[in-house]
Structure 1
Amino acid sequence: MSSPSIEQLEQMVADLLAEAGKLGASAADAAVSSSSGLSLTVRMGETETIEHTRDQGLGISVYFGQRKGTASTTDLKPAALREAVSKACTIARNTSEDDCAGLADPEYLATDYPDLDLYHPWAISPDEAAAVALQAEQAARDVDPRISNSEGATLSTQSGSFIYGNSHGFVGGYPTSRHTLSCVVLSQDGDCMQRDYWYDSRRDWRQLAAPENIGRKAAERVLAKLHARQLGTCQAPVIFRADIAPGMLRSLTGAIRGHAQYRQSSFLLDSLGEQIFPEWVDIREDPLIPLGLASAPFDNEGVATYAKHLVRDGRLETYILDSYSARKLGMKTTGNAGGVRNLSIGSGDMGLDDMLKEMDTGLLVTELMGQGLNPVTGDYSRGAAGFWVENGAIQYPVEEITIAGNMKDMFRQLVAVGNDNDIPGSVKTGSWWIENMTIAGC
């Protein structure tokens, strides 16, 4: 069975909104999506799994004044859609009023938005997908005889469509695609065994990194971890390598979300306009980047998205707000219902090797374990692994250590961001050099 067309999805949304009106709702909005794809994994030179995926879903919110009810379904048949609307209405009628509930204000809705070139379907057969994945895995295994085993290489490709509409008259949608190739391998030397990976993900499959490059990088990463040591407790500078540095930016966005602010559950509570980073730091969101993995012309409420500074000259310029959190804070939505899209931080002119030389002695973190951030106090403690650096060069790998600090202090002690920001994903950052943290053996 073929996936519904955009026109069919638009009609579903229109029917839902009409049904909500018939049942007495004063306002409503609905979103529907449908996607299909292929995921194939090879392991040790053989095809291990082939999965054809087909996903669809719909969510509707209705309002009776300022009482809200929501319902969702994965069944897009007309009877199931009507039942979802009926359930949402029943919930709304039995819910307390909320002064901040309601659709986005009409003046903020997208009216004329650009085509962001997000749809590049890949008509690849399972045999062709297996050939690509096998190239990645074989390239990794060919690097060194110590690559002793593999968890496989996986190629996944997915295409679909998304439609959102509300009773203000907004209906909008667009098709999207995403293609990912990854490789996970294990290395062994004597009693020492390590695991690592690499990947790439793109809207346009033609832009994926060569499978041989992905395999070789996975192999190089896992070989470098062999014969890791522990460290004694110390205070030292720490560099978070570029591929894990996005977690630092996500800690920032979590703290400046409107919902964290009005609930008073943020270590950056009431920090708007304050200096939270050194003056040289600029952090931006740009949802309108063509081909961007997180690009969207409007947010989950139909509000037009736009490029903006979150931090300029080290100062916090805005919170991240949907309509509800904006009303709770007496502010305006920032077009961020559904999250932050295409986050980036400005970098200097140093690559990672330059940063290591400048740091001279300290820790390069390449892996983090656990969820060790207290969102209210900012206290940070994570299991980690990486490399010990002396005389400006990597000396040996380390593991079973803990790094600790406070996120507010870590932001203020950011010494540099590297220009090694060619990492996959929707968050663009180079490596982060933090002036001082506590490092402890486990």
Structure 2
Amino acid sequence: MKQYADLKELEEKARDVLQMARDKGADTAECQIMRRRDFEVEVRNGEIENLSEAEPFEMSLTVSQDYRRASVSTCDLTPDSIRGIVDQAMVLSKYTDRDTFYTLPKPEQLATEFKDLDLFDAGLLDMPVTEKIELARELENHLLAVDERLKSDGASFSSTISAAVVANSAGFCKAEQRTLLGMGVSGFADDQVKEGDLNVGRKQSGSWGSQRRHRADLRGTKETAQRAANNVLRKIGARKPQTGTFPCYFEPTVARSIWSNLLAAMTGGAVYRNESFLIDQLEQQVCSDIVTITEDPFIPRGQSSRNYDREGVAKKAAKLIEKGRLNTWLLGSYSANKLGKTTTGHAGGTANLLIEPGPFDEAGLLKEMGTGIWVISLLGQGVNISTGDFSRAALGLWVENGEVQYPVMEFTLNSNLKDMLKNISHMGNNVMHDWSVQTPGFIIGNMNVSGL
């Protein structure tokens, strides 16, 4: 199979950098080297608006002596530059504060087995630029063909080919190559004007995209365009909903953001800084008992699949939340030391997350909800991870007796994540596999809606 880079050469260079740092007095050293080829093209109305291609190199180095740590980076990998950057790191580390919580992982925690996760598509190396441009144009053309009211806000195709090595003086050194490619399209339409509505002169917009490790796994341009078009058209004729307390159905695209809030509160950094609403909740019920979240780092071609974390610690499959019970914090070595615990292999974040589906398709979820709001978009940043307070503007569809009546906009959802997670009453089976967080939609029993 054709390779993007010489992985053995990258590993040798990383080992040389580590040895150089140790020879100059470093107690510990961590090195990452990445070579990457980035491409992106954006088209609007058939014309290229932006086309960029770059192939950067980057090396980062962290050293410590007497628990005094310094980090440096460079894009110049010539021998003279590397010697200079190692010298710079050693000098800087003399002037930083001692931090005894900073350590490398223990050798027995490091990954020694490496599954073939099939994260590299060699065919992308020879994919012509003209073909990438035509895919973006094709995507845009499919969008405009869905409905004459639609106008294009642009379509894009992007790809990244990378080779990277992670190495440290605890004994870990591993280089891998990966590919990631994606495409997306945005559109808009003039809103329909109705007497008494809010949408005089408004435009409604929407988008959709697909991202995969292998080109063969990308959604087709026609399907992607249809989803983007639907996201525009279903907003036309929107009005404000009434104020009150209603159940809400969070479709998969929106459900992801709720899980992201939960994960942010589970990170070791948030916990040891007392900036998490989950403080003192380890091994406690923090979600509805229908919620189980599994991390599976070993999904072939998975967007976040990996054998090890940023420190070289071996990844493992685990249930992070099991029937609503919080099983673990998400810890790297530093946050684990702060909390008196052991790293969980989460330096650099989580891998693929699978939210266990329920029995209901989307129509079934709406029927179970009865009257309420189908949430199709959340806006703004109104979430306080420290307290759990949640207040975000939203767009949606008003549902009565399980049937969509009309789109709604200019309203706010208010609650607290502690209550929201425990009030998840129904889980769908409509899992979306487009992201590293693979989730179905779900219903939260009661949300405060501020509308009319």
Q: TM-score range by the shorter chain?
A: over 0.9
Output one character per residue of 1:164-198: Cα deviation in whole Å (capped at 9) or x when no partner.
Answer: 11112211121000010101111124534111101
> Which segment drifts farther, 208-217 or 45-54?
45-54
Matched, 1:406 2:421: no
Gap regions ≥5 residues in structure 2: 193-200
Equivalence for 2:252: 242
Corresponding residue for 2:304?
294
Aligned to 1:134, the other structure's residue is in SS state: helix
Give the CA deviation at 1:47. Answer: 2.7
CA distance in 2, matches of 1:312, 1:294: 21
Give 1:37-436 correspondences, 5 Å limit.
37-121=38-122, 122=124, 123-147=126-150, 149-189=151-191, 191-436=201-446
* Aligned partners of 1:3 and 1:34 also within 8 Å: no
3-state DSSP of counterpart to 1:327: helix
Q: Distance in 2 between matches of 1:359 and 1:260?
A: 34
Alignment length (residue pairs): 440
Partner Cα separation in structure 2 for residue 287 and residue 200 of structure 1: 20
What SS is found at the alignment partner of 2:55?
strand
Shift of 1:43: 1.2
Shift of 1:4: 5.1
Query: Contact 1:3–1:36 (CA<8 Å) still a contact in 2?
Result: no
- 2:253 aligned counterpart, secondary structure: coil
| 1:315-356 Cα deviation digits (max 9, x unpaired) | 111110001111111111101100011112111111111101
**SS of alignment partner, residue 335 of structure 1:** coil
Question: In the TM superposition, what is the alpha-carbon distance from 1:22 to its structure 2 partner?
Answer: 2.0
Q: Could you tell me the TM-score, scaled by structure 1's length?
A: 0.96
Between stretches 20-29 and 71-80, larger displacement belongs to 71-80
Mean alpha-carbon deviation: is it higher for 10-19 or for 28-37?
Answer: 10-19
Contact 1:241 1:431 in 2 (8 A): yes
Amino acid aligned to 1:374: N
* Pairwise CA distance, 1:56: 2.5
Residues 261 and 270, structure 1, Cα contact 8 Å, conserved in 2: no
Q: Which residue of 1 aligns with 2:30?
A: 29
Counterparts of 1:3 and 1:315 in 2: how far apart (Å)?
A: 43
Find the aligned partners of 1:431 and 1:401 in 2 and give their Cα distance: 20
The amino acid that maps onto 1:277 is: C
Offset from partner CA, 1:241-278 (integer Å, 9 cap, x none): 10111111111111111111111110000211101112
| Structural RMSD (CA) | 1.5
Task: Find the residue that maps to 1:128 and give its secondary structure.
Answer: helix
Work out whether residues 136 and 213 of structure 1, in 8 Å CA contact, stay in contact via their aligned partners in 2: no
Aligned partner letter, 1:178: L
d(CA) in 1 for partners of 2:4, 2:359:
47
CA distance in 1, matches of 2:339, 2:379: 34
SS for the counterpart of 2:56 is strand
Q: Distance in 2 between matches of 1:352 and 1:417?
A: 10
CA-CA distance at 1:65 after TM superposition: 2.7
If the length of structure 2 is used for normalisation, what is the TM-score?
Answer: 0.94
Identify which range, 41-50 or 312-321, moves more after superposition: 41-50
